[in-house]
Amino acid sequence: MNRRKIFLVIILCTVLSACTDQKIVNQICLVHAISFDTVAKGKKTAVLISHFKEQGKTDLEVLHTESKSYLSLPRLNTQTNDPLERGQMRMVLFGKTSAEKGIGTVIHHLLRDPKFSSRLQLGVVERDASELLEITTKTQEPFFLSDMIEQNMRNGNLPLMNLHVSLFNYYGEGRDMFLPYFKIGREGAAGSGGHGEVKIDGLALFRSDRMITEISLKDAFLLKMLIQNSKNGSYTVPLAGKASNNTNNQGEDFILLRSMHSKANYMVNNVHLIPSISIRLKLVTELQNVPDWVDVRSEEQLTRLEKTMGSYLKKEIEKFLSRLKENKVDPVGLGDLIRSRSKNWNAQDFEKIYQEIKTTVSVQVKIANTGSG
Partner 1 sequence: MNNAVDEKHLISPFLIVPLMYVSMVGVGVLNFQRELAEHAGYNAYISVVIVGISIHLIVWMIYKILRSNPEGLDITAINHTYFGKIAGSIINFAIVLYFFFGAYIEFKAYIEVIQVWMFPSMKILPISTILMLLIYYTVSGGFRSVTGLSFLGFLMSLIFIIPENLPVLPYLHPQNLMPLFNHSASDILLSSKSMIYQFLGFEALLLFYPFIKSPAKSQKWAHLMVIFVTLLYLMIIIITFMYFSEGQLRQISWPTLNMLKIIEGPVFQRVEYLAISLWLLKNLSGISLSLWAACRGMKNVFRIKPRASLLAFLVGILILDYFLKDRSIYRWISEFYSDVGLYFIYGYIPIMFVVTQIRKMGRRIAIE
> Minimal CA–CA distance to 204: which of 124, 101, 132, 127?
124
How many other C-beta atoms lie within 10 A of the C-beta of residue 19? Answer: 7
The minimum distance between CB 230 and partner 1, in angstroms, equals: 14
Q: Is 289 exposed, middle or buried (0-12, 13-18, 19+ CB in 10 A)?
A: middle
The minimum distance between CB 42 and partner 1, in angstroms, equals: 27
Piece of 185-193, 242-250, 318-326, 338-346 that binds partner 1 (CB under 8 A): 338-346
The minimum distance between CB 13 and partner 1, in angstroms, equals: 5
**CB nearer to partner 1: pick between 208 and 216:** 208
**CB nearer to partner 1: pick between 277 and 337:** 337
Piece of 58-66, 191-199, 238-246, 334-342 that binds partner 1 (CB under 8 A): 334-342
Q: What is the DSSP letter of 258?
A: E
Under the binding rule (CB under 8 A), the answer on residue 278 touching partner 1 is no
The minimum distance between CB 245 and partner 1, in angstroms, equals: 46
> What whole-number distance in Å separates Cα of residue 307 and Cα of residue 314?
10
Question: Which residues have a Cβ under 8 Å from the Cβ of 261 and sit 6 or more positions away?
Answer: 229, 231, 283, 284
Under the binding rule (CB under 8 A), the answer on residue 267 touching partner 1 is no
> What whole-number distance in Å separates Cα of residue 290 and Cα of residue 369?
12
Question: Which residues have a Cβ under 8 Å from the Cβ of 248 and sit 6 or more positions away?
Answer: none
**CB nearer to partner 1: pick between 91 and 255:** 91
> What whole-number distance in Å separates Cα of residue 354 and Cα of residue 267?
16
**CB nearer to partner 1: pick between 88 and 360:** 88
Sole binder of partner 1 in the list 1, 2, 5, 14 (CB under 8 A): 14
Under the binding rule (CB under 8 A), the answer on residue 8 touching partner 1 is no
The minimum distance between CB 333 and partner 1, in angstroms, equals: 8
Cite the DSSP H helix spans in 173-330.
Answer: 217-227, 299-327
How many other C-beta atoms lie within 10 A of the C-beta of residue 28? Answer: 17
Q: What is the DSSP letter of 122?
A: E
| Contact set for partner 1, span 72-111 (CB under 8 A) | 87-88, 108, 111
Under the binding rule (CB under 8 A), the answer on residue 255 touching partner 1 is no
| Contact set for partner 1, span 18-47 (CB under 8 A) | 18, 20-21
Cite the DSSP H helix spans in 47-158.
Answer: 73-76, 96-101, 104-112, 129-139, 144-155
- Site for partner 1, rule CB under 8 A: 6-7, 10-11, 13-14, 17-18, 20-21, 87-88, 108, 111-112, 114, 117-119, 160, 164-165, 167-173, 175, 336-337, 339-344
